[in-house]
């Protein structure tokens, strides 16, 4: 599966499509939260129907380390 272009996850249509499974995202997909300058990374969809992402942690290294720790569980 290919990565999508960076999507705005605050768009309710995109949120609905991800939560319903209509739009499938790969773990690691870059997303935007509104007008945020830094993208976030998609981790997955939680059982309680929320979208799990890792936001910018102040550096690329810290963001990647958190992403890896959240996906290795």
Domain enclosing residue 19, as ranges: 7-71
Q: What integer is the mean pLDDT of 24-45?
A: 94
Cα-Cα-Cα-Cα dihedral sign, residues 54, 33, 26, 4: negative
28 in a structural domain? yes
Per-residue pLDDT band at 73 (split at 50, 70, 90): low
47 in a structural domain? yes
Number of domains forming the structure of the chain: 1
Q: Which residue has the higher pLDDT, 47 or 62?
A: 62
On whether the pTM is more than 0.85, the answer is yes
Q: Over the chain, what is the mean pLDDT?
A: 93
Nearest to 53 by CA among 39, 65, 40: 40
Given a cut of 90, whether residue 29 has pLDDT beyond it is yes
Nearest to 30 by CA among 50, 60, 73: 60
């Amino acid at each position: 599966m290919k990565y999508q272009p960076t999507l705005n996850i605050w768009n309710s249509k995109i949120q609905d499509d991800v939560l319903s499974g209509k739009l499938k995202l790969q773990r690691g997909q870059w997303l935007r939260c509104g007008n945020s300058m830094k993208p976030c990374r998609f981790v997955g969809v939680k059982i309680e129907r929320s979208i799990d992402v890792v936001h910018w942690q102040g550096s690329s290294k810290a963001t990647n380390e958190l992403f890896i720790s959240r996906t290795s569980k």
